[in-house]
Amino acid sequence: MTKIKYLEELLKKDQFQVEFSNVNCALTVCIYTLTSRKVYIVHIERLMKASKSVTELLIKYQKKEKLLSFYLWIRNILVTEFNKDTAGIGLKIYCSFEVVSLEEKINTICKKTAKNKVVPFFNKLIHT
């Protein structure tokens, strides 16, 4: 690898890290909000907006493995919020809607990267 190629790769990694730090700050604030108070739909909306920024960045830099892990992580957060005793019916419906959307994206990534050899299995969320 030539010095120019090496420097270009190094610069690209640095750009990713800087951009990731910026979007990660917004995501961190959203996650903190979920852990520190009663959660309402607006908090989940903010989380999804922040996660969209992270998703766009991971797609931009072609980080498919990280994107899959990120989707699974966000899905887990949504399922946790759905299952909380304090979650109202509106919050449960909104979380289940976002979970279904994420599951479609997860399935698509699994099909593309594993050539249909990996199929994720998800338990359905049940409103109580």
pTM of the model: 0.84
Dist. CA 57–CA 76, nearest whole Å:
20
Residue 116 in this model has a pLDDT that exceeds 90: no
66: closest CA among 123, 24, 33, 94?
24
Residue type, 71: Y
Cα dihedral value 41, 44, 48, 50, nearest 10 = 120
pLDDT band at 68 (very low <50, low <70, confident <90, very high): very high
